[in-house]
Amino acid sequence: MILLGSTGSIGVNTLNIARKFNLNVEVLVAGRNIELLNQQIKEFKPKIVVIDQAKDIPLVCHNNVLFGEEAILQAIEQSSSKTVVNALVGFLGLRPTLKAIECGKKIALANKESLVAAGKFIDQKNLRPIDSEHFGLWYLLQDKKIDSMIITASGGSFRDYPLDELKNVSIKEALSHPNWSMGNKITIDSATMTNKMFELMEAAWLFDIRKLDAIIETKSLIHALINFKDGSTTAHIANASMQLPIAYAILGSCDEEILKPVDLVQIGNLEFRKIETSRYPIWEIKDEILNNLDLGVVLNAANEVAVAKFLKSEIGFLDISKISLNAINRFNSVKATSIDDVFQIDKEVRAYCES
């Protein structure tokens, strides 16, 4: 396989699956965690390594190290591997997804932004989502008439925080997720609920459905539910680990134990909550977004700028959603008619939000 984003949590879990099933890793693509990358190189012996910045090349223990976006695209095109695992974070992951499609490779997709920003231009024929929520929905599909689909959210770092104190929270508090450890960007997106908005948009593209919603399930054991026309509901329950969806995305099927089964007696109870706009202001535009998926590129660009500003202490936590809502209001009539339009809209929204 070609693994994009090898040192992030998805990348590390993908390599756990590669180790378990003795899979060949031809290309490793990573950012700036060179220490972990060198450990991965030693174990998996890739032919090609691509990193973010040229200045880090001397630190990498490999004789074929490239850097930058063009090198990623080149590695996808020139490698013999038939599978690309795209676990890159952000809009940066879109061009590699398009390149993998162009090359006819199977894509195990964890890069949300590919579908969020450019879903109408993504050929899904060889695409398998890695998100536990979309995997859960796929797992539940039966030959029955569907009424609606629901995915779950953890609620993020501030689900129990006093509302009147949210404006003063620190970066450290925002990065303290109650259920698991993830990268900075996705942890912030979880706290604002923007991440769940992205996942609803992904589900809309993946399952061609607009009747979608999300609820908070605090223990992160139920990942998805499908409501059928007959009035019944099925839920996908599994311990929180990305290794299950990764295994299915790469292998196609999986008949041996990847996770320990959930012991419901030991769990004792589950708690569900509504996603309230008072705590998650971004939820105000859920219906608008689902009725106009072209706005995905706007929301993603605005959010990337806003999260970066917050992590540099330039704005407060609540300003992240304000910047996104403002951008949606400003660009609410955009329509991308080509993939080039997507990149142009992204550029314009970023410039507006930076200013």
pLDDT at 180: 67
Indicate whether 325 pLDDT > 70.
yes
Are 338 and 251 contained in the same domain? no
| 105, 26 contact by CB (below 8 A) | no
Same domain, 93 and 190: no
The average confidence (pLDDT) of the chain is: 96
Assigned domain for 149 exists: yes
What integer is the mean pLDDT of 8-37? 96
Please tell me the distance from the alpha carbon of residue 257 to that of residue 329, in angstroms, as a whole number: 47
Examine the domain organization and report whether 271 and 344 are in the same domain.
no
Asked whether residue 287 is assigned to any structural domain, the reply reads no
Question: Residue 129 corresponds to which amino acid?
Answer: P
Show the tokens assigned to 146: 């569907």
Q: What are phi and psi of 217, to 5 degrees?
A: -125, 110
**Domain contains 15:** yes
Report the CATH number at residue 117: 3.40.50.720
Of 86, 108, 129, which residue sits at a domain end?
129
pTM of the model: 0.94
Indicate whether 58 and 159 sit together in one domain. Answer: no
d(CA 217, CA 228) in angstroms, rounded, equals 20
Tell me the C-alpha distance between 203 and 209, whole Å: 7
Tokens for 154, please give them: 């953890």
**pLDDT score at 240:** 86
Residue 250 lies in a domain: yes
Q: How confident is the model at residue 254 (pLDDT cuts 50, 70, 90)?
A: confident
Instruction: Give a yes or no: residue 172 inside a domain.
Output: yes
How far apart (Å, rounded) are the C-alpha atoms in residues 5 and 72?
Answer: 11
User: Does one domain contain both 164 and 241?
Assistant: yes
Residues 237 and 120 in one domain: no
Residue 119 sits in the same domain as residue 235: no
Write the pLDDT tens digit of every residue in 50-109.
999 999 999 999 999 999 999 999 999 999 999 999 999 999 999 999 999 999 999 999
pLDDT at 17 > cutoff 70: yes
Q: Among 129, 163, 189, give the residue marking a domain's end.
A: 129
Please list, in sequence order, all residues whose beta carbon lies within 8 angstroms of the beta carbon of residue 116, skipping any fewer than 6 positions away: 198, 201, 202, 296, 297, 299, 300
Query: Is 31 part of any domain?
Result: yes
Which residue range(s) make up the domain with 348?
A: 292-355
pLDDT at 241: 86
Are 15 and 96 in a shared domain? yes
Residue 140's pLDDT is what?
96
Of 99, 129, 159, the residue at which a domain comes to its end is: 129
Residues 124 and 139 in one domain: no
- For residues 143 and 228, membership in a common domain is answered with yes
DSSP assignment, residue 242? T
Q: What is the CATH number of the domain that holds 303?
A: 1.10.1740.10
Question: Is residue 333 assigned to a domain?
Answer: yes
Residue written as token pair 């992904």: 202
Q: Are the CB atoms for 102 and 339 separated by under 8 Å?
A: no
Lowest mean pLDDT: which of 35-44, 177-186, 241-250? Answer: 177-186
Query: Per the structure, how many domains does the chain have?
Result: 3
Residues 80 and 171 both lie in one domain:
no
Residue 283 located in a structural domain: no
Output the pLDDT for position 255: 86
Least confident of 37-51, 148-162, 246-260: 246-260
Shared domain for 96 and 166, answered yes or no, is no
